[in-house]
Structure 1
């Protein structure tokens, strides 16, 4: 299990254990974390699982692919460096302690 820390826009933190192989989005969905809507269910067809990866983790998460880059254009106030879709981040042991911050809203 990897501990993933989800931080709501209000600052409320949720620390949950997510099994390797699931995505960060699935970890939020399965644990009832507010702020990640995941309308498309993880198909990278919307931007409702958008987060800002904590600056300490930006270089440690796998790189974005072209499809994710395109979908981030539709996210609420995307940040070129920190914005990610949680459906595209697969949980591994290397991501134990990952911190993601939710935007003010999802669109």
Structure 2
């Protein structure tokens, strides 16, 4: 809906809007996570979900079933694996995956 409003009222801004990733996770779920785990943990969790393209439907089902800690741990492990692979590549070695 936001994009349609921008298209109508400010078409010169459309390239800027298209270039940004807009978070689509429901704010009420994010607020519920903040109450349960705190703001810092929730920011990190949402950042990891966005970075690794976790779909909105998956995000909603994970939070609804209370498995957000499990997803967070998996995303952190993935993040660590990616960092280790980047370090190996920068050293000129073949990464261990």
TM-score for the superposition, normalised by structure 2: 0.23
Larger Rg computed on CA atoms: 2
- Select the structure that is richer in helix: 2
- Select the structure that is richer in strand: 1
